[in-house]
Amino acid sequence: MTLDDTRPGGARDDLDGAGAGDDGTTPSPHPQNAPRAPETGRPMTSLDSASSSPATDSIEQFGEDLRGLRRRNGNQTLAALSNTTHVSKSVLSDAFAGRRLPTENTVVRILEVLGEDPAPWIRRRNELDPRHMVESERDGSGDLGDPGEPGEPSEPVATSPWRRRFSLAAVLWIALGTAIVSAAATSVVWAVQPTPEEAQYAPFADGVDPMTTVCREDAIVAASEQRENGAFLVQMMYSNRCMAAWGRITRYDGNAAGDQLSMTIYPAIDMQSARNQQRDSFDVQSLYTPLMIEPDVEARVCGLAAATVNGTPVELGPALCI
């Protein structure tokens, strides 16, 4: 199973204030006050924001344009966006304020929740990421040096005496180090410490909340389908890092209060498997299931969702499989 990220919408949290965004800004109520593209004078669109000139672009400008897009698409609160994107409010706040360049995964989640195409924003985001630019240069040319004239044979690279001496010394040190480690390993039990990045997460396993694990960092939408004429969105999420799947369901019918959402994921070959993961909840707009670890790349995992609408059960089949 190989696989990309999300869409849901979110309800405004009344406790965050009426009309004011979480970044301290107030949305403009009149179209004539909307930001305008400098070249044309027309109201700024998401395409204008997503295609700033690389020569003048910055992380701060990227965040400002994200804020503008958020205002033009309902100006949801950070609490509402966090609930539907499953990205923490602190990460969202940094992204909208331009304090830190958001990850590709965060950008995709924000844009899909706001109903916009993430592709141009991802290209723009990657142009601001020095690591991505270095990788692109390496992937594109392989050799960053002067290629020389066509047909000109390359000269052999001479190995200097100091380089030969260093190589011999390195071999001796490696041999000595290997001997020391091998001897110590017979009497010492080495403790494997988690990396600083992974130390903040819970271990991933069947039945664990995916949002508490490192699996959330590379999560993508492996499959996504609308049900009941767009009233519900059923999705299967996947993490290559964890080799784990989980399901997610989001409702757009405005009937969260008093109604239920439910979803079950299971191995495609055994719908009654003991490994099944299920979750249901009342009064929510979106929910996701616990993790199911599936190390077999040939195996398939399916999800089946259901809901109630004004108390009436609705099956949101057929099953969605990845």
The beta-carbon contacts of 132-137 under 8 Å, at least 24 apart in sequence, are none
Scanning the structure block, which residue is given the tokens 């999560």? 219
Please list the residues that pair with 280 across neighbouring strands: 262
**Structural domains in the chain plus CATH codes:** 14-136 (1.10.260.40), 210-321 (2.60.40)
Cβ atoms of residues 63 and 137 within 8 Å = no
**Crossing angle between the packed helical segments 104-113 and 89-97, to the nearest 10 degrees:** 90
The whole-angstrom separation of Cα 132 and Cα 155 is 32
Q: Checking DSSP bridges between strand 260-267 and strand 232-239, what pairing results, if any?
A: unpaired
Phi, psi (5° rounding) for residue 88? Answer: -60, 155
* The pLDDT value given to residue 298: 86
Phi, psi (5° rounding) for residue 309? Answer: -125, 110
| 218 DSSP assignment | G
Cβ atoms of residues 43 and 34 within 8 Å = yes
CA distances 288 to 44, 150, 210, 254, 275, Å, are: 35, 58, 9, 18, 16
**C-alpha closest to that of 110 among 139, 69, 147:** 69
Query: 45: number of CA atoms within 13 Å, CB side?
Result: 8
Which three-class secondary structure state does DSSP give residue 225? strand
CB atoms within 10 A of CB 255: 15
SS (H, E, C) 285-313: CEEECCCEECCCCCCCEEEEEEEEECCEE
The whole-angstrom separation of Cα 296 and Cα 120 is 34
* The pLDDT value given to residue 153: 40
* The pLDDT value given to residue 138: 52
What is the chain's pLDDT, residue by residue, as a tens digit (322 residues)?
544 443 344 333 333 333 344 444 444 444 444 444 443 344 455 555 666 666 688 999 999 999 999 999 888 898 888 888 888 888 899 999 999 999 999 999 999 999 899 999 999 999 998 776 555 555 554 433 333 334 434 434 444 443 444 455 555 666 666 666 555 544 433 333 445 556 678 899 999 999 999 999 999 999 999 999 999 999 999 999 999 999 999 999 998 999 999 999 999 999 999 999 999 999 999 999 999 999 888 899 999 999 999 999 999 999 999 9
